[in-house]
Amino acid sequence: MSHKIHAPYHFVPLSQWVHMPEWAHLVSHDHPFEDGHSGVIEYTLINKTPLCVGSDKDANGVVKFARDPLGHPIIPGSSLKGMIRNVLEIASFGKFSSVDNKRFSFRDILSSKGNYLTNVIAKNTVQSGWVKFDSVENEWKFTPCNFVKVSHKEIKSSLKKEIKNSNSSIGKYHSFPLNNSVSARITEPKGKQRNRWAEGLAIGGEGNLVFTNMRIPGKGDRANYEFSYYFYPKHNAESQVVTQQVFDLFDNHTSVEDEIDGIKWNQVSYLQSHQHSDKGIPVFALIKKHSSTVHSLGFAKMSRVTFKHSIHEMIESTNKAHLSDAYFDFPEVMFGTLRDKGLGLKSRVMFSDAISEGWNESALYPSNPIILSEPKATFYPAYIEQNKNESGYRDYDSDNGALSGYKRYIAKSPKQVGLESNVKDNDKVAQRIELAPVGKSFKGRVVFHNLKTVELSALLWCLNLKKSNHQLGHGKPMGAGVVSISPRISHLSSNKEQSQQQFDAQFEQHMNEQYPATGDNAWLSSPQLKYLLQIGKLGENDDVNTRYMSIDNKDYQDAKKKMEKLPELHGVGRTEPVAVNNTQGAASFGRGRLAHLVDLKKPWDKGQYEKASNIQKEQTEEEERLR
């Protein structure tokens, strides 16, 4: 069995350089550019693999293809605009900003050399305790206590309550609430592990039974997993503020759910609503060795812990421009964006719905049952850029880590016209999608207003995509949604005479001039452009294994044990030239009305503003020299 990492997707590398057009501060609906153009692009879209664009389900749960009021299959303009905008973000080296700022958590015990066991468990000690909100000081506080194990057999014998390892912690707490105080006799250490146990349980006293979720049984006796914990007071215990650790605790422990008396709960919501009236919520804390500082909190001794860096922090470590409101990229100035202080921009590009041509809804057919699941960005061997020359992994804890970039699905024809089913044992989350057969045509229009020549050229370039293909709709992991677009300008009103050939070449010429690395076609030879185009080349990716790895067969675990990394696509390198870095400035940064978005108290904003001033000065001197 191969331990290699494979997936239906790959990543266009995230660049250290973000390009801000030098006319960004001049964009307006009301003031025409000297080289401004308005008009209409008509295009034909043809699907090269089965296609489904829709969202509504019928009575049988089939995702229906989108239709207009007359029943004609259509592709909504919003879907097309989003698709083209994403291509433009990549091709123009725009901002990687359309991502939620998540902070993931992890618990990885597969390798003794892994981050979790080496840097989390080994460098901290386990301490039981309680967290309670202090409403006066508006803070969460942790108070340590003692703990020992208590067998479920003892609970049943002494308290007449049956607790099973297989039950969720929610179910266990429902059977024996936290407000039920318990007394016990604490034994001397015994057994191979020299554990202390609570015995002779009785209602009343100062202790409490504390439960965890199901422990996955190993090869040993299942009876050895039938235990919970007994928390009891620790004399002279001092409390400490743990507000951020509690927020992380609540974020990391919502996956376990259960239904009690018709109400669905997750582990956090249940404990918040059923906490001990005086003590609060029972937890296990990881305390940093040689100090009393709480590293993290969990509901078990080896719980999930929060990674050091969030998604946005990882992006900003590549280049703060990606998330800066003071920075405007190609997609924002062309397709519009929101900003405070009335500095947002309206879209100058409008997409109509694309309507089916020469065929009708009778050609549509249902797919095989499939599971439309999203891959998890917590799988860092793929989602974090890995150095193939390093033996270990970079993850969301790494200070030198970077996100892998734009996730795009590899264009590859499906083996079956109904798509290959990835369903096992009639999974309840499986569904069918309504597909258009290969080769169906859709007609649509793009209306544009006051686009500069280079912007219109960029729009045409992205629609054509240089003989590569776009990806659209549902079922892309199974090979669906590969489409091509053929555009033509059907109406044009220009403020300045311009030939069609100039439209074709202007964008590539502009990007080659702006790209920090030098050389013929340096921009087109960049890792970003190579991956963008290669991922979409249908017929050239047949040898790529695009199956999802199996959870049941432990493919993910085995790959991580072997320290495998997502391989380069067709051996195409991912390292940017040295000249491409995050030190470049933009001439239009902070100019004109955009100055209101610059905060000179922030070191990065101040640095960019100074770079912009220097670039403007150099441009002025060059213009004077050429007069």
pLDDT digits (tens, 9 = 90+) for 372-395: 766 689 999 999 999 988 988 999
> Taking all residues of the chain, what is their mean pLDDT, rounded to a whole number?
94
Residue 371 clears pLDDT 90, i.e. is over it? no
- Band (pLDDT 50/70/90 cuts) for residue 604 is very high
Of residues 497 and 187, the one with the higher pLDDT is 187
Instruction: Of 4-8, 87-91, 343-347, 387-391, give the lowest mean pLDDT range.
Output: 387-391
Query: SS3 breakdown of the chain: % helix, strand, coil, rounded to 5?
Result: 25, 25, 50
Asked if residue 265 lies in contact with residue 259, where contact means CB atoms within 8 angstroms, the answer is yes
Residue 582 clears pLDDT 90, i.e. is over it? yes
Residue 595 clears pLDDT 70, i.e. is over it? yes
Residue 337 clears pLDDT 70, i.e. is over it? yes
Predicted confidence at residue 2, as pLDDT, reads 57
- Band (pLDDT 50/70/90 cuts) for residue 498 is low
544-568 pLDDT tens trace:
999 998 877 788 888 988 889 999 9
The residue-averaged pLDDT of 313-329 equals 98
Question: How buried is residue 188: exposed, middle or buried, by Cβ count under 10 Å (0-12/13-18/19+)?
Answer: exposed
> Of how many residues is the chain composed?
627
130-142 pLDDT tens trace:
999 999 999 999 9
Could you give the C-alpha distances from 155 to 17, 210, 325, in angstroms and in order? 62, 12, 58
- Band (pLDDT 50/70/90 cuts) for residue 109 is confident
Query: Cα angle vertex 20, ends 464, 86, to 5°?
Result: 35
Predicted confidence at residue 113, as pLDDT, reads 74
Predicted confidence at residue 553, as pLDDT, reads 74
Residue 111 clears pLDDT 80, i.e. is over it? no
- The neighbour count for residue 136, using CB atoms within 10 Å, is 6
